[in-house]
Amino acid sequence: MDIESNIRLTDEDVDKALKDVTSSKQLQEVKMSFLGKTGRVSELMKHMREVAAEKKREIGQLLNDLRARTEEKFNALNDKLKKKELEERYAAETVDITMPGRKSESGSFHPNTLIRDELVSIFSGMGFEVFEGPEIENEYYNFTALNTPADHPARDMQDTFYLAPGLLLRTQTSAGQIRVMESKKPPIKILSPGKVYRSDDDATHSPMFSQMEGLVVDKGITLCDLKGMLDEFAKRVFGESVKTRLRPSYFPFTEPSVEVDVSCFECGGKGCRLCKGTGWIEVLGAGMVNRRVLEGCGIDPDVYSGFAFGMGIERIAMLKYGINNMKLLFEGDVRFLKQFKD
């Protein structure tokens, strides 16, 4: 075949090959087969050597034109395909802004944690330091040193889980008072939050619950100091208008002992379901530290006196947040827990 026919045929073959091309990647391969180093057009160029001298100029021109034309065709198609591919990509990656977003769940603190943190914040503002005692205690710290010897009827007030003879799960954070008084001399001002355990289980009791204990020992501490501090605590937790009252009670480690009520923050004291019509709600136990307890810890009760108080954190949480069943605090249901933010 002469070179002119070959050029014409190549032209036609380029057109044919381009017809079937559908992607820029495929186009690149086809382009190589014509314009690459060993492609058809390049091969044709090599035949220039065999062309007679007088035709060299003309054939050279034809070949150059072929190359230019072919490149143009490829470039044109390449532009078209690139544009089409970009449009397809945009369509595929379009974000539908009307689609609902993916929700990310955020956690919240457990009511117990909220109350504990609130109490720690209130009392640390009054100068209390936090002390955490062990949950596994021995009888001495949990009972004996708190003026509750083995045959004392008050031991029956708290159904104890024994782990081994003399070893138990603490029934009250009061056990920590002794550990503090043994290791630290007055002035003492500590707050002791933690879990306690009792064999007790109903709508308002759980075998494991949390308490917050407070202890103040110094020279000249009186029941008035306790009352003043409780007034402040009640206002901060339940609201400015809340009042406190002390009722005589009994705990072996305090003398005198009191039960502390707050005026009902729901009805303002008129009487409602929350306060069972009395206008008052019991929130904690307290009293002046019994002389025998101080003595047992090596603190002279003729020089020092102190007060102590203990409250159930779940009870405070239930009152403050209007939770009517204690079990809700132990189920860990996020639908319930999510409701408490502060």
Q: Contact residues for ligand DAH (CB under 6 A)?
A: 172, 174, 213, 251, 254, 285-287, 308-310
Instruction: Identify which of residues 40 and 155 has a Cβ nearer to ligand DAH in the complex.
Output: 155
Instruction: Identify which of residues 133 and 287 has a Cβ nearer to ligand DAH in the complex.
Output: 287
Q: Identify which of 253, 260, 261 has the alpha carbon closest to the alpha carbon of residue 306.
A: 253
Instruction: Identify which of residues 40 and 170 has a Cβ nearer to ligand DAH in the complex.
Output: 170
Instruction: Identify which of residues 70 and 287 has a Cβ nearer to ligand DAH in the complex.
Output: 287
The minimum distance between CB 104 and ligand DAH, in angstroms, equals 41
Q: Which two tokens stand for residue 281?
A: 């709600």
d(C-alpha 111, C-alpha 114), whole Å: 5
CA dihedral 269, 273, 278, 280 (to 10 degrees): -60
d(C-alpha 292, C-alpha 105), whole Å: 53
d(C-alpha 140, C-alpha 176), whole Å: 11
The minimum distance between CB 182 and ligand DAH, in angstroms, equals 16
Instruction: Identify which of residues 10 and 192 has a Cβ nearer to ligand DAH in the complex.
Output: 192
Residue found by looking up tokens 């065709």 in the block: 73
d(C-alpha 329, C-alpha 341), whole Å: 15
The minimum distance between CB 283 and ligand DAH, in angstroms, equals 11
- Residue 215: Cβ-neighbour burial (10 angstroms; 0-12, 13-18, 19+): buried
The minimum distance between CB 263 and ligand DAH, in angstroms, equals 20
The minimum distance between CB 214 and ligand DAH, in angstroms, equals 7
Closest residue by beta carbon to ligand DAH:
310
